[in-house]
Amino acid sequence: MRRSDGCGGYRLWLRYDPIDDPATRRDYARLTRRICLPTGSSGAPMAARAELERGLEGLLGEAPRISEEARGATLLAGTPDSCPPLGNAELRAELEALGPEGYILGRRLVAGRRRWVLASAGEAGLLYGAFRLLRMAQTRVPTSGLEVRDRPSVKLRMLDHWDNLDGTVERGYAGSSIWDWHRLPGYLPERYRDYARANASVGINAAALTNVNADPLALSTEYIEKTAALAGVLRPYGIRVFLTARFSAPLDSGALATADPRAPEVAAWWASKAEEIYRCIPDFGGFLVKANSEGQPGPQDYGRSHAEGANLLAAALAPHGGTLIWRAFVYSARASEDRAKQAYEEFVPLDGSFLPNVLVQVKNGPIDFQPREPFHPLFSAMPRTALALEFQITQEYLGFASHLAYLGTLFEEVLRADTFRGGPGATVAKVIGGSQGGQGLSCVAGVSNVGASLDWCGHHFAQANWYAFGRLAWDPSLAAADIAEEWARMSFTNDDGAVHRIVAMMMGSREAVVGYMTPLGLIHIMGWDHHYGPGPWISEGRPDWTSAYFHRAAGDGIGFERGPLGSAAVDQYAPPLRELFGSADSCPEELLLYFHRVPWDRPMRSGRTLWNELCLAYQRGVGAVAAMRDAWEGLAGFADAVRFEEVRELLAIQEAEALWWKDACLSYFASLSKRPYPEGVRAPAHGLEYYKALKPQYVPGIGRTR
């Protein structure tokens, strides 16, 4: 029988298990013995109080005394308005400079005495500060010399749920949707609040509740009421809700005969829809729209541009302070010469023509959330438009919830990429942070990996991706390794040696996936439609949905030529990147086959041929998973038995699937390259036909949309 910790991972990183080290426990007990925290009746301070009570009771074994009394308090928590001692001019100015979500945790001169304060100009900041204090205790940060001043660099830090109203989740691998639409608005399970707590603990302040392949029903009066109920639960945690809007909703709802942005009745319909929503949800965030992409309706159906479409909805939201997020993930119904170029071609001419409350949301790479892609060239090309960055936290292309793939490293790679917009140093993080133009809006969005499964994300380590997303959205300059360490300490153990080994597993895991799935710049060679498992042989159907379109492998070589002699997609990057990527000699090898088609015998930097290097990369990927399994075996005792065993079983699946990927891909590529496997690479266990014949059924994540 497995010993359970009673929650199977449900507590996420907010476990608040007792601090075992007496010195740290004493320090935090001293600091939090008597907390002054005026809560009034509004949400965030109450939430902060509840969290401090819960957390400190767990960590210290005793509930703290929290009251409105400042005298004798060991910690003064509040805003200058709610807690008068914090209202002195100096502190007030310091807090205002940090904004309503920023906070200070440290010692300040208050009424002539140096005292511990947890203070913010706004109530949300107070909540974030409370979570920070708890995180520090959870990760055993000493309180001596403690001085934290923090504020988010990005305004909207948002989870995008691809959840359908029928409870299925598009590309969801953690069970059904957490939103129980059927029983809303009446039934509000505790899980909603725990979801909000988890988000607030990492600074996520917005959630789009519904799938981008949107159901117009979400905008009906009945569903607005349901959304309002959810908004009520999330509000105290600083989270604003968004809905996805189907562009043809005026038509689909039966109200109008058109959804043409130029028809006055269409503008009136959206305006009155927005009014209706804001009557129920005064702090409604706005709409997220996928239009004219993968068959979704959009303004181009009426010969209008994306800007006209976006501005139509933005104008309806503007009087209420709402934001319109318009996705740049577009490609036309007919395959083009190079799908990588399409978003740029459609959107760059529109730069500067979006209303001020529009964010154009760009996926991290030009294709589609692959294990590795270059950053999206739009980030260097729309200086007069506020751009949002979209990541995929759910592992559609990185092994679903069966594979351990820590995405902190992927997020970090993208955020730190230098776009060279207007010169060096213009990283993606800076571009989206709005420090380089834009309209004062900024947003990082992540496609959620949250579902109704007991452990929320389907894999205990997938929780780290939710966590890392939030932390990096708050502060894109954080290091993935530091985030992994925080998470490991909160989720598993504070044993330094064990933490070190867990972090090492996490840090190498995404590269392992790249290795056994798509090394050296390969992309999009997964199974058809469900995207599970390898499918490099797929060549039938819409060309830019096939693997053959992307890898272009044949007897003479492999790769997609995007240099000057190919599709010239490299020209969409600013110099010097266009030169760097434009030549196979200077292109980073990890992106080589993305940008270039090269012969199998091309010499690589290692001195090996491309073919040999490719084979070894697949083999190394499999080897890395075997090493993760070994490392995990050595960690028994640092996780409760249930989580330990579950991770162990999943790592075994991952190794088997890594081998499947390697063997299937190498059999296929070998059938074209006609070259032998180099030393150190184990030949596939079966012939190519065997792998082609594998047809997995009932693969999760397809979802049902109208």
Footprint of ligand BDP on this chain (CB under 6 A)?
A: 170-171, 212-213, 290, 294, 329, 368-369, 396
CA distance 667 to 581: 29
Please, what is the end-to-end C-alpha distance for the chain in angstroms?
Answer: 44
> Which listed residue (90, 294, 556, 601) is catalytic?
294
Element (H, E) at 675: none
Which 8-state DSSP code applies to residue 604?
Answer: P
- What sections of 477-600 are H helices per DSSP? 480-491, 496-517, 547-551, 577-582, 592-595
Where do we find the tokens 């541009």?
A: 305
Determine whether 294 is an active site residue.
Answer: yes
Q: Which is nearer to ligand BDP, 222 or 529 (CB)?
A: 529
Neighbour tally for 449: CB within 10 Å: 29
Q: Which is nearer to ligand BDP, 171 or 341 (CB)?
A: 171
Q: Which is nearer to ligand BDP, 323 or 370 (CB)?
A: 370
CB 101 within 8 A of CB 79: no
Bridge-based pairing state of the strands 443-447 and 240-244: unpaired
Determine whether 373 is an active site residue.
Answer: no
Bridge-based pairing state of the strands 323-327 and 358-363: parallel
- For residue 367, the minimal CB distance to ligand BDP (Å) is 9
Q: Which is nearer to ligand BDP, 244 or 667 (CB)?
A: 244
- For residue 654, the minimal CB distance to ligand BDP (Å) is 21
3-state secondary structure of 526: strand
Q: Which is nearer to ligand BDP, 369 or 660 (CB)?
A: 369
- For residue 702, the minimal CB distance to ligand BDP (Å) is 8
Sorted by sequence, the CB contacts under 8 Å of residue 24 that are 6+ apart come out as 137, 140, 142
Spatial strand order in the sheet of 65-67? 65-67, 34-36, 75-78, 113-119, 103-110, 148-150
Q: Which is nearer to ligand BDP, 105 or 310 (CB)?
A: 310
Q: Which is nearer to ligand BDP, 258 or 705 (CB)?
A: 705
Q: How far is CA 249 from CA 211, 217, 299, 391, 662, in A?
A: 14, 8, 12, 26, 45
> Which listed residue (396, 486, 655, 657) is catalytic?
396
CA distance 9 to 365: 32
- For residue 368, the minimal CB distance to ligand BDP (Å) is 4
Element (H, E) at 244: strand 240-244
- For residue 529, the minimal CB distance to ligand BDP (Å) is 9
- For residue 446, the minimal CB distance to ligand BDP (Å) is 12
- For residue 350, the minimal CB distance to ligand BDP (Å) is 19
Residues labelled as active-site residues: 294, 368, 396
